[in-house]
Every structure is written in structure tokens, then in C-alpha cells.
A and B are shown apart, each in its own frame.
Chain A
Amino acid sequence: MKRLFLTTFKIDFMSAMPVYEQVKKHIKHSIAKKILEADELLPSQRELASLLKINPNTIARSYRELVQEGIISGRTGKGYRVNTNSDMGKEKKKLLEEKFLLFLEEAVEMGFSAEEIAGIIDNILKKGENK
């Protein structure tokens, strides 16, 4: 589980999204997708900084903010763990919305109307139910 968390962890320097935000996002997504489980120990700031080749102070900021948001707990030197009750409901919804948005933009570019798109989604869901 943890290996997947690390091997999929990439910082995109072409993006203007601050690196500390990218780190937070990857951790949140990994929790939402259960790649990181409740109570799991996160890599130390030094380990993660070394893997991603970024400033350890940046990881410190990401961890600090995740603590404030109630997603992880711990402190520097002692290690950080994923909170058992971290409410990823909102996060999961946001993640799904982001993915839908990309797909919707493409559908609109191709000229589909809102009703047509809704119809297509409806059909797919029905097919899934019948299986």
C-alpha cells in the first residue's frame, strides 16, 4: 500500500500550483482512495523531501496544514499518522468532481448538450446495474 503512495508521488514543476499544495493534494487523494489507511504512519519529512527532491520545509508546511485540517496528527520528530476519523467524504466528492469536469469539458467541446450527457451517464449506470 505504502509503496504505491510513494511511487505515484510526483511533483509537477510545470504547474503554478505551489509544491506544498501538490503534496497535500497527493496525501488527501491517497487517503480518499484508501492507498493510505487509517493510523498509517506517513514518511518522515526528510524521507519525503529526499524522494521528491524538494525543500524539507515545504513538507513541514504541508504536514502542518494537514494537521490543522484534521486529516493527520503528530508532530515533527515523532512522526505523523493518518487520522482514524479523517472525514474524506468531502475530499472524495471534490476528487470525483474534478475528474468529471475534465470529461464534461471535452463532451461540451464535442457539442453534446447537458441532456444528452445526462442521458449517456444514465445509460452507463443502468448497464452497470444489469450486470
Chain B
Amino acid sequence: MIEIKNLSFAYEKTKVFEDFNLSISKGKVVLITGVNGVGKSTLLRLIAGALIPDKGKILFPAEMGKDPRKKIGFISDRLSLYESLTIDQAIEFHLSFYDVNRFDDTLINHTKVKRTQKIKELSMGQRTIFHLSLVMACEPEILLIDEIIHSIDVYLREIFLQHLINIISQREITVVMVNLNFTDIEGLLERIILLKGGNILVDENIIGLKQKVRKIVADKIPAELPLLFKNNTPQWTEFYVYPFREDFRKDINGSVVDLDLTEIIKAFIGREYT
């Protein structure tokens, strides 16, 4: 379990988190989302140890050892990845730094890179996949993936996701992803955390969240229903209701529609802008 306790963090004078608490169970795939600038990537970098909290603690399970950071794989586009080294040199450097001796190259073989190519010559997708291979050589207990999945092309994204599925099926790994786009990752997610102003606005497992949000297309809905967000289209009005209960149906004169995660998050985020 990752336990974040009373965490405070600010960039210069801009406060991002104050007295923030969160725990993440072992072996879960968790999504952290929220509007731009809400601190999603900052939170990931704090967990990874790339940023140091001003106050509070981030605790890791004892089996991760004295230096838990060695058991955390962090994939981010902001990390400079030994830019001027070749792939081969980077592998050698990485393995010796982390004191591991096995590198699985099946994944990078799909990406058409040459082992003599320099890192800075790679495309975003190739870098991401190479980075995942490097990180997995250390057999991490925790994998942190910053908003990159959707900046790589569809072919490499598929390879990346398939590899992630393989990893999850082979070992009990905790995966924390930060993302704004949920197409093709919804099926992997088990828990959804939505941040707002340095706090947790929504924290639900995916099954519960999908039960609790519905879109109602109607002229009006009863005032007592918990309205999350209202969207006017040229033809009709859409009412997003949260938390939805089955017994609401009898008072609704309109159609009640199930939603995918993209639409659910759109409603939560849309509310922030209205």
C-alpha cells in the first residue's frame, strides 16, 4: 500500500497540496484525473520521489526495502532519458545503476529502433516504449505513468497497452496513471480519483462510478435529483445526475442513458467550467 499522509507541497508560492491524504492498495490500477493544472503530475512526481514534500509523508510497504524509489518505475515525458546515449549505452548504464542484469528487448524490437540509435533521435512513442522496457528491467512494485499514453501513435499505443496487460497478469503490480483521455484504457482501470483544487473530489471504484452517473435527456428533471452538470444541445437538454439511484427512474419523463468513462469525466470536468 502507498500511503500519503498530510502532504503539503508548493511551487515557490503556488500552493498545490495542503494536508492531502490518499492511500492506494497493492495491485490496483488507479487513474488520477482532473482539470489542467490541478496537480496530477505533481502528485505522481511526489510519489516517484522526483519532488520532495514540504510537509507530510509518503509511506511504502516494508517489502519495497530501504530505498523504495528503486522499486518505483516512473514513465514521464518530462524525464530526460540520457539523451545523447545510444540505446545500447542507455541499457548498460541503467542496468548497472539499478544493479540488475536482465533486459527484455522484445518490446523495443516492435518499434523499429536500432540499438545504435541515440535516444534523442527517437519518436515520442519509441521513447515511451523504450522507457517502459528500461523501467520493467528493475521489476518495480509500483508503476507510475504520466500523461503520455495518448501522445504516442495508435500502433505503438496498442503495443504499450498490451504489454501493460501482460505485466498486470504476471505479477501483482500497482499502477497509477495520470490521464485526461480515457479511450482504450477504461477496461484497465479499477479506481478513479478526480482532483480539484488540491483535494479529492471523487474517489470511486470503476464499477461504482459507472452505476452512479447517468445522463437524462428530457425537458426538465425533478428539482430534488442531484444534478451534476447540465448541457444544452441545439435539440435538447442533457442532465448529468450524480449520485444516481434506480428509484429515480419513476419520476423521470425522458430517457436515461448509461455512460462510458469519457462522458462521466467530461461531466465532472464540465462542471468546473460553468
- Which A residues fall within an 8 A CB radius of B? 11, 13-20, 45-46, 49-50, 52-58
Contacts and interface: CB of A to CB of B under 8 A. Distances in A.
Contacts of B169: 45-46, 49, 56
A45 B258 CA distance: 27
Contacts of A54: 165, 187-188
| Interface SS majority for chain B | helix
Given A13-B260, A14-B260, A19 B165 contact: no
Contact of B168 (A13, A16, A18, A57): A57
B190 A53 contact: no
Contacts of A45: 169
A56 B210 contact: no
Contacts of B210: 16, 18
Interface of B: 27, 29, 161-162, 165-166, 168-170, 184, 186-190, 207, 210-211, 214, 258-261
A16 B211 contact: yes
A55 B168 contact: yes
B165 A13 contact: no
A45 B165 CA distance: 10
A50 B162 contact: yes
B6 to A, nearest CB: 31
25 contacts: A11-B187, A13-B260, A13-B261, A14-B258, A14-B259, A16-B258, A16-B259, A17-B258, A49-B165, A49-B168, A50-B162, A50-B165, A53-B162, A53-B165, A53-B184, A53-B188, A54-B165, A55-B29, A55-B165, A55-B187, A55-B188, A56-B165, A56-B169, A57-B168, A58-B187
